[in-house]
Amino acid sequence: MNTQLKLSAAAVLALGLGAFAATSGMANPAGSSAQCGVLISTSNGMLVLEGSLLSPVPLQGAYQFKVQSSGGGGNTNISQGSDFSAAANQRTTLGKVMINAGSNYKVDLAVTANGKRLDCDHELSRLL
């Protein structure tokens, strides 16, 4: 996910994509495939970026969650990754970082589950 946004734009995008997901089937396309992406929220004046996965069936795999940010407080390069097991119908966190709310950032979430690479190149609604 290549995202270069400020906090206010991120909040607007989160609301818009949440509505889009609900009407387009992205949030749960026929209940048949795993959905993954990045949840964006705020906490104590910080921007929270969280890799997330939801599947109708149990999954095992590996993920790589990378965040690059730049702003008044400097530059940050964060890389998290590990193996994971995800239960059916339960949201699983795949990496989480907090950065300065005014930062520009780029997020990349790569997930391989049950031998297949998943498309995680989108922001997810907070309702996931």
Please write the tens of the pLDDT for every residue from 49-65.
999 999 999 999 999 99
Residue 32: how many other CB atoms lie within 10 Å:
9
Q: Contact, 110 vs 63, CB < 8 A?
A: yes
What is the C-alpha separation between 105 and 16, in angstroms, rounded?
A: 19
User: Among 8-12, 57-61, 80-84, 86-90, where is mean pLDDT lowest?
Assistant: 8-12
**pTM, entire model:** 0.70
Nearest to 71 by CA among 98, 47, 102: 102
Q: Who's near 4: CB < 8 A, 6+ residues apart?
A: 104, 105, 106
- What the chain holds in terms of domains, given with CATH numbers, is 7-118 (2.60.40.2420)
- Displacement of CA 113 from its chain's centroid (Å): 16
**Taking Cα atoms as reference points, which of 8, 14, 12, 11 lies closest to residue 122?**
14
Amino acid present at 106: K
Tokens at 3, concatenated: 């995202």
Average pLDDT over residues 59-87: 92
Instruction: Report pLDDT digits (tens) over 23-54.
Output: 333 343 333 588 999 999 999 999 999 999 99
Quote the pLDDT of residue 123. Answer: 78
